[in-house]
Structures are given as structure tokens and as C-alpha cells.
Amino acid sequence: MPKFLIRILGIALFLSGMLWTLQGLGLVMWPAESFMLGEREWATYGLIAAGAGLLLIWLTRNRGQKD
């Protein structure tokens, strides 16, 4: 899988994980019908997903090398 696709997946995973975290903590109450709102376990799942996303982003960083 090309680096840029892995990076896009990492960014999407990070952003969705942060949304889950904020919903789980009750800081973002959107969408109103979401089952994640105010549920602390979703804050934990979100942090795990965001961390995995950051890991993917970090693994695809350019280290001064050309592809």
C-alpha cells in the first residue's frame, strides 16, 4: 500500500478517534442521536484509535529520503 494512502488512513483514524474521545467525555454532543455521547468507554476507544492514527502518520513520515 502506498505511503500516502497509509497516511490518509492515519489522518482519518486520528480525527475520528478524537471525535469519539470528545463525544465520550461529553464535550461534543453531536450528533444528538449518537450512542457514544457521555460514555467514558468511547473516550478510551477514541484515544486508542487516535494513537493508532498517529502511529500510522509517524511511520509514513519523510525522513529526508526520496521515494
Question: What is the average pLDDT across 9-33?
Answer: 96
Look-up: residue for cell 493508532? 52
Question: What is the average pLDDT across 8-37?
Answer: 96
pLDDT of residue 53: 98
pLDDT at 66 over 90: no
Whether 36 and 23 have beta carbons less than 8 Å apart is answered as: yes
User: Of 55, 50, 66, 64, whose CA–CA distance to 6 is shortest?
Assistant: 55
Question: What is the average pLDDT across 41-65?
Answer: 92
Local confidence band at 6 (pLDDT 50, 70, 90 cut-offs): very high
5: left (phi over 0), alpha (psi -120 to 50) or beta: alpha
